[in-house]
Amino acid sequence: VVDWVKFIFEFLCGVLITSYYVVKEIIELFIRTKLKSLAGKHVLVTGAARGLGREICLRLAKEGCFITCIDVILAGAEETAKLCNEIKSQCAEAHLCDITDRKQVVELVKLVKPVDVLINNAGIVSSADIMEVSDEHIERMINVNVMAHFWTIRAFLPSMIERGGGHIVAIASAAAFTAAANIAPYTATKYAVTGMMASLREEFRWYHPEIKTTTIHPFFITPPASSVEHWEKKSRLPDVSASHVANMTVRGIKKEKITVTVPSHLYFLLL
């Protein structure tokens, strides 16, 4: 027997909560909210050698940040740091680090100055049938896309708490809200990161309100001309550029937003 009173009550609650967030987002489109300054902040970006990681670093340089560019491809990270330093002199440096290796992450903490903003951007993207993808590739994707977040957060969070403030950012994906064929491992990692960040937000809300979190959910990012296209996209929505995602990421940090979808209207489609 259906409990209609309970059903109607839960339905109305869902409508009210959804309406609140929709109205809130619409208001923020037209009313300028105060943005916190990132000038002089030390931001560490993983996966900084190319693509979105590089674009985020360049955008941060324009904000007056000091940027630490991290990647397993040192030459790429150094090139990113060089480009940042052309925007603002001596604002960036590069370090080689495999963030899936806990020991390397611990050593990295000793090499860099205290981090104000940690941006976990590094990630592996690929498309394959569940029986075609190798065991090793699944493990590597989970290690880079999920486990590395734990190692960097656990390494840099104590200093943030000790200094009374910090911001942790995760680059997730719109895949965390949807389902598509042939990207099961990738989608699983983005669901995992989204859940982890939501749990951390609640943890910090109770015990460390001075630590902020932001999760970025971009749609398909247009790959650079030099990159391999990982999958055939079949969507009516257009790709988004890495530079646009970088701009939205930095703006989200400055507004201390919990969640950022790129493009913005994707937020309403996923409610």
- Condensed to tens digits (0 to 9), the pLDDT of residues 195-231 reads 999 999 999 999 999 999 999 999 888 766 555 555 5
The stretches of 98-183 forming alpha helices (DSSP H) are 102-111, 135-142, 148-163
Binned at pLDDT 50, 70 and 90, residue 232 comes out as low
State percent of the chain over pLDDT 90.
70
Which helix (H) or strand (E) segment holds residue 217: the answer is strand 211-218
Contact between 152 and 120 under an 8 Å Cβ cutoff? The reply is yes
Active-site residue, 20 included: no
Contact between 8 and 83 under an 8 Å Cβ cutoff? The reply is no
Q: What is the pLDDT of residue 34?
A: 79
Q: Which two tokens stand for residue 135?
A: 């065991």
User: Mean pLDDT of all residues in the chain?
Assistant: 89
Q: What is the pLDDT of residue 222?
A: 74
Task: Record the pTM.
Answer: 0.87
pLDDT 10s digits, 57-89: 999 999 999 999 999 999 999 999 999 999 999
Catalytic residue (choose from 20, 21, 186, 207): 186
Q: Which residue in this structure is represented by tokens 């979190």?
A: 213
Q: What is the pLDDT of residue 207?
A: 95
State percent of the chain over pLDDT 70.
88
Quote the CA–CA distance of 171 and 215 in Å, as a whole number.
6
Domain boundaries, the chain: 1-31, 39-269
For 39-269, CATH number out of 3.40.30.10, 3.40.50.720, 3.40.50.620, 3.40.50.360 equals 3.40.50.720
